[in-house]
Amino acid sequence: MNIKHIAMNYDKVLFLACNDILEDLEELRALDIEATAIDYDPKFKRKPHYINKDFVFDEVDMSADLTIHMNVEKTYPVKLSGDVILRGDNEEHNGDCWPIYSFDQLIRAYNLKEVYQTYNSEDTKLTRNINNSLLPKQHFIVYGRA
């Protein structure tokens, strides 16, 4: 699933917990798409097109035609509406609020009314879960409507 290509079909796109995607933001903005990122990491405090806040606990405008939550495992589910792309992994990093193990987990947690597309990328790299078992590293991505 090419998230950036999906974003090109919308007028206003919001990325949540996305880390450094400045190039993508600038590319979307060059296409007259209002693309903004919200990330709580202080390294984004002075980056253009970023809002440096915690969208879970701080008051922040999250209105958009498409909201793309890049690391859902890092935050508790937040209330989203409209079209969304939810991306999470099963790596169980220290600080992950809730690791993702399935599409259904994302669909239920975000109360999606319609699912347009799902994608699962399985890596050859293994990750060790909380029970010390080795599992293939996976990203679960759901594109739908909340």
The arithmetic mean of pLDDT across residues 110-137, rounded, is 80
The arithmetic mean of pLDDT across residues 72-90, rounded, is 93
CATH of range 3-145; options 3.90.1010.10, 3.40.50.150, 3.40.50.300, 3.40.640.10: 3.40.50.150
The arithmetic mean of pLDDT across residues 109-119, rounded, is 97
The arithmetic mean of pLDDT across residues 136-145, rounded, is 92
- Return the higher-pLDDT residue of 129 and 65: 65
The arithmetic mean of pLDDT across residues 93-101, rounded, is 83
pLDDT value at 115 more than 80: yes
DSSP output for the chain: --HHHHHTT-SEEEEES--S-HHHHHHHHHTT-EEEEE---GGGTT-TTEE-S-TTTS------SEEEES-GGGS------SEEEEEEES---TT-SS----HHHHHHHTT-SEEEEEEEEEEEEEEE-TTS-EEEEEEEEEEEE-
pLDDT value at 42 more than 70: yes
Mean of pLDDT over the chain:
91
The arithmetic mean of pLDDT across residues 132-141, rounded, is 81
The arithmetic mean of pLDDT across residues 83-103, rounded, is 88
**What's the pLDDT at 123?**
66
**What's the pLDDT at 129?**
64
Tell me whether residue 12 is exposed, middle or buried, using C-beta atoms within 10 angstroms of its C-beta: 0 to 12, 13 to 18, 19 or more.
Answer: middle
pLDDT band at 55; cut points 50, 70, 90: very high
